[in-house]
Amino acid sequence: MNRLFYILLLLTFLASCSDDKKRIANEKNILGDWMRVNAKNEGGELSGEFFDLDAMGFAFYLNHHYDNKAGFFKEVEDGKWGKETYLGSDSKFRLTADSLYLFRPDNNKWHSYKIIKLTPDSLKFGRNGITRSFKRFPAPKFKAPAFDEIILSTSDCFGPCPISSTLINSNGKVVFNGQQYTNYLGLFSGNISKEKYNRLQDNFRKIDFDSLNNEYTSGITDQQTICTTFVKDGKIFKSVSDYARIAPLIFRMGYVPVENLYQQIPLLAISSPHYIPNFNYMMNATFINGDMALRLKQSETFLLMDYLRNGKTCKKRFAPRFKMHGFFTINKFPEAETDGRYYTFVEKGRPVTIDIGFNFYDVNAKNWQWRKATKYD
């Protein structure tokens, strides 16, 4: 009897040692960035609240915190439409030899998943017969630039899509404009730390920008468009328009925390220039030159509007090269004459000229293409 007892005790000890080794290996292998793999035979209806299985990606850190790239949201009923409150993307995790536990702040619960595979390059876990696979996102083989500013805008859609624009710069300044279906409506300013800015931009710097298209489109109708503009050395480095959210997954993982940043920081209401009526409703600026038209992306327009907001009124006489007006605005935006640096609006029958300090058109012209104007311009 005593011999059997000691054998069982030894087996239990060996199993415990084996589990500890496996857990330690899991702790090491899981650290870093992971991106979802669209593997076959991993469908199925998700039951209950276990939406981690549909996350775009994760980042796991040494302090047992993780970043869910899809973010955490909590729906808040608000009259006809429900609004989602963004709770950030950071939370806690823990590991055993065979299970991954993720804490979700949206329901204050730990969710357990069976680890099917965890190696330095592959992660596969599941629950109730539904599995998801992730691959390690390797260190970039290219050198992405550090950006001076990142501007992200979200358009309308057939439904309650939030319409907003967010500008962040490397000094930590944030400017937010909420137009519809956002928790804040109007123009606001805020600040973030340098560390926070670096983290937000580093999400994008994992991308090979040369591989990104300027436009991503789909045959699906009535969807939202996400426009993102990156500024380097005072010039537009690249602008990407993503209709129906079909851009590469690694890019989409970068813009989720930016479009929801305004819900994470204190905001102070700021006034728009009195000499530009309906400033807060401007979405797409269009330059007109004869029978040719150039329409800026929504994020590029918000960048220009920020330059105008910070510009100086002056009495400078200049030779206009273009007319500029708004497209698809909620309220009519006044037409302006401009040469790219100076912009003249008419306020109560009197012209007001704004100097933004440099020629926005000439500096960024290589990013744009003119086309024949239509009746919609």
Q: pLDDT tens across 279-332, in order?
A: 777 888 999 999 999 999 999 999 999 999 999 999 989 999 999 987 654 556
Average the pLDDT over each of 36-50, 62-76, 348-362 and give the range with the smallest value: 36-50
Domain ranges for the chain, please list them: 23-136, 149-269, 279-372
φ/ψ of 38, rounded to 5, equals -80, 70
Residue 14 clears pLDDT 50, i.e. is over it = no
- Tell me, what amino acid is at 185? L
Give pLDDT, residue 201.
92
What pLDDT score does 214 carry?
A: 94
The set of residues, in sequence order, having a beta carbon less than 8 Å from that of 196 and lying 6+ positions away, is 172
Which fold is adopted by the domain 149-269? Mago nashi protein (3.30.1560)
Q: What is the pLDDT of residue 160?
A: 85
Average pLDDT, the chain: 86
The set of residues, in sequence order, having a beta carbon less than 8 Å from that of 156 and lying 6+ positions away, is 163, 180, 224, 328
Q: How confident is the model at residue 50 (pLDDT cuts 50, 70, 90)?
A: low
* Contacts within 8 Å (CB) and 24+ apart, 7-11: none
Those residues with Cβ within 8 angstroms of residue 188's Cβ, 6 or more apart along the chain or in another chain: 175, 176, 177, 178, 262, 267, 268, 269, 270
Please state the φ and ψ torsions of residue 306, each to the nearest 5 degrees: -70, -40
pLDDT tens-digit map of 176-196: 999 988 888 999 999 999 999
At 17 the pLDDT is 54
The arithmetic mean of pLDDT across residues 215-230, rounded, is 92
pLDDT at 137: 85
- Supply the pLDDT for residue 51: 62
pTM: 0.87
The 186-191 sheet, strands edge to edge: 215-216, 235-243, 225-232, 149-154, 163-169, 173-180, 186-191, 268-269
74-106 per-position pLDDT tens digit: 877 665 555 778 999 999 999 999 999 999 998
User: How high is the pLDDT of residue 13?
Assistant: 47
User: May I ask the CATH architecture of the domain 23-136?
Assistant: Beta Barrel (2.40)
Closest CA to 135 of 31, 254, 252, 34: 34
Q: Are 299 and 153 in contact (CB under 8 A)?
A: yes
Q: Is the dihedral of CA 144, 241, 296, 330 positive or negative?
A: negative
pLDDT at 327: 64
Show the tokens assigned to 15: 């199993």
Question: Above pLDDT 70, what percent of the chain?
Answer: 87
| Sign of the dihedral through C-alpha 8, 10, 11, 16 | positive
Average pLDDT estimate for 111-134:
91
